[in-house]
Structure 1
Amino acid sequence: MSLAQIISYYRRVRTWVQGSDAHERTLELLGGFLAQQVAGKQHVSSLHDVEFRVYSQWGDDGIIQWIVSHLPSTPKRFVEFGIEDYSESNTRFLMVNNNWTGLVMDGSPENINRLHRRKWFWRYGLTALPCFVTRDNVNSLVGDWAAGEEIGLLHIDVDGNDYWLWEAIRCTSPSICIMEYNALFGSERAVTVPYSSDFRRFDAHYSGQYFGASLAALTLLARTKGYALIGTNSAGNNAYYLRTDLLSSHMREISIAEAFTTPTFRDSRNRQHRLNYLSYDQRQSSIRGLPVLDVVSGRVEPF
């Protein structure tokens, strides 16, 4: 049995040991072994080749471990927002396995309070703030925490104003930026939801499918900020951007067509807020006609 299979099995049975942190310690130990394995890979055909999951929702823990293993001088500081209570996130294993410090933010005070009560919270240099991030406050929130020091990784996953928040961050240029993209907008159109300071995914549309920006829109923004697209995860929701001065034979820029991944997950809801398991095409159809902003022309048009 491979280590990946062991982790998959252990995740299924770990609920049997609730009340103890033994399952977390075991997951982290196995994740550490996998991190060593992916670090040894010099060239990969795709970021999909190095995926594994410990605390990330998909295989992003492995991707992040592979990238940082090839960037030894990267500052060990991260910023992530849209983390809920941090039980499932893309930077938690980075914090635990690599001893990075970071800032995490979520709009729910209840989520942050739960995070503060976790048994392990005191072990790491983690700042957790309850705040609803907007393009008006995001730059100062990140800048105040960073205090002039460089950041190694930025991850934005707020299911809404992702494009606008990244655009507004001017205080830092992290080595790595991970951006959630909405694959339902397709691989060609450079579009995002129009900015709304109080955007909430399920308020915008009951299905929860109308949010964020396309991969093309985020990649155009990345270029203006000095970043190159190096891949996406196999789930088809997270895009990886590397500052262009860090590109190498290990991590090269690829095209949107190469990187785009059609997701297979089915997280849409019906009007009663229950999962209805629509296919990719059906999910697209559910938001047809809603307004999107073309970031090239600046025009709002129907999706």
Structure 2
Amino acid sequence: MKEYEAIASEGDQLGYRALLRNREFKVSSQNGEDGLIAFIFSEIGVTNRRFVEFGVGDGRECNCANLAIRFGWSGLMLEGNSVSARRAREYYAKLERSGGNGIQVRRAHVTAENINETIACAGVQGEIDLLSIDIDGNDYWLWEALDVVRPRVVVIEYNASFGLRSVTVPYDPQFVRLRRHRSGWYHGASVSALAKLGERKGYDLVGTDSRGVNAFFVRKDALGGRLRPLGAEEAYRPQKKRMVVATVEQQFSAIAHLDYFEV
């Protein structure tokens, strides 16, 4: 009987992963995040259609652009590069003049020490629908420190090169990915570490994108529909782009001598 239960469980898991994969599509996101975000909100509903996103580049290719441009969401975009931030401001200012919703773009080097003040000073606090974090460095530490907003959904990049090790890079407010290792494989946190952090903050890991880049979390009191919690081992996917170059173990071997914080 236990063997049949295991087979049934495996079949359910494959079905759920296939469900997520079939919902992926790209409009303004880097990969299939637009589709997964739309699917998640189709299952749990929306409240105020507000977002906060860190690391938006020029604002044209990021996780909240599609929501802002095509679905009338408002929110705050933060970008550390001054040139990219200026371009994003100009882009969304044009949309605002043509009847778009209020999008704030601010140039900010966000740290664990200033993240709450930075967001609060922009007039954003309390309940929001979506938080997106992609800064290729202190992602874990920013989410841990953040408490000025209470997002229902969190999309955060994980580092698939760490495999299932429960680790993150140590906190360093001056972290620059390619200065630490030329491969670009040393940054952020593993999906296992993020899953533990999410649990502490009251979130369930509900999936990852098929390219092995982003993890998707839903606040426990908002979980519903066809979404269900996953363990890190179930959710983990290697990053497809890096697998062309090296296996996951080869990736980690190249950066294993660097410092890690075990979660």
Same fold, TM exceeding 0.5? yes
* Alignment match, 1:179: 156
Q: Report how far residue 69 of structure 1 moved.
A: 1.8
Q: Matches of residues 13-162 of structure 1 in structure 2 within 5 Å?
A: 45-118=18-91, 119-120=94-95, 122=97, 123-162=100-139
Check conservation: 1:264, 1:279, Cα contact below 8 A.
no
Check conservation: 2:132, 2:155, Cα contact below 8 A.
yes
CA RMSD, 1 decimal: 1.8
Q: Are residues 1:227 and 2:203 paired?
A: yes
TM-score where L is the length of structure 1: 0.76
Q: Report how far residue 161 of structure 1 moved.
A: 0.1
Q: Are residues 1:238 and 2:211 paired?
A: no
* Alignment match, 1:290: 258
Check conservation: 1:55, 1:89, Cα contact below 8 A.
yes
Distance (Å, rounded) in 1 between the aligned partners of 2:73 and 2:229: 26
Check conservation: 1:46, 1:231, Cα contact below 8 A.
no
Q: Report how far residue 149 of structure 1 moved.
A: 4.3
TM-score where L is the length of structure 2: 0.87
Task: Evaluate the alpha carbon distance shift between residue 266 and residue 213 of structure 1 in structure 2; reply closer, same or farther with a 3 A threshold.
Answer: same
Q: For each residue in 1:141-191, what CA deviation from the matched residue of structure 2 results, as whole angstroms up to 9, or x when unmatched?
A: 12333444421100110000000000000112210001110011112x210
- Supply the AA of the counterpart residue of 1:284: F
Q: For each residue in 1:263-287, what CA deviation from the matched residue of structure 2 results, as whole angstroms up to 9, or x when unmatched?
A: 11139xxxxxxxxx62234432321
Q: Report how far residue 96 of structure 1 moved.
A: 1.6
Find runs of 4+ consecutive structure 1 residues off by over 3 angstroms. Answer: 43-46, 146-149
* Alignment match, 1:266: 242
Q: For each residue in 1:200-220, what CA deviation from the matched residue of structure 2 results, as whole angstroms up to 9, or x when unmatched?
A: 101111111100000011110
- Supply the AA of the counterpart residue of 2:241: F
Distance (Å, rounded) in 1 between the aligned partners of 2:242 and 2:41: 31
SS of aligned partner of 1:246: coil
Q: Report how far residue 120 of structure 1 moved.
A: 2.7
Q: Report how far residue 110 of structure 1 moved.
A: 0.7
- Count of residues paired in the alignment: 243
- Supply the AA of the counterpart residue of 1:279: A
Task: Evaluate the alpha carbon distance shift between residue 211 and residue 129 of structure 1 in structure 2; reply closer, same or farther with a 3 A threshold.
Answer: same
Q: For each residue in 1:80-114, what CA deviation from the matched residue of structure 2 results, as whole angstroms up to 9, or x when unmatched?
A: 01111112111100112211001011111111111
Q: Are residues 1:207 and 2:183 paired?
A: yes
* Alignment match, 1:250: 226
Structure 1 residue aligned with 2:247, among 280, 294, 299?
280
Check conservation: 1:74, 1:175, Cα contact below 8 A.
no
Q: Report how far residue 137 of structure 1 moved.
A: 0.5
Give ranges in structure 1 of 5+ residues lacking alignment: 1-42, 268-276, 296-303
Q: Report how far residue 44 of structure 1 moved.
A: 7.3
Give ranges in structure 2 of 5+ residues lacking alignment: 1-15
SS of aligned partner of 2:45: coil
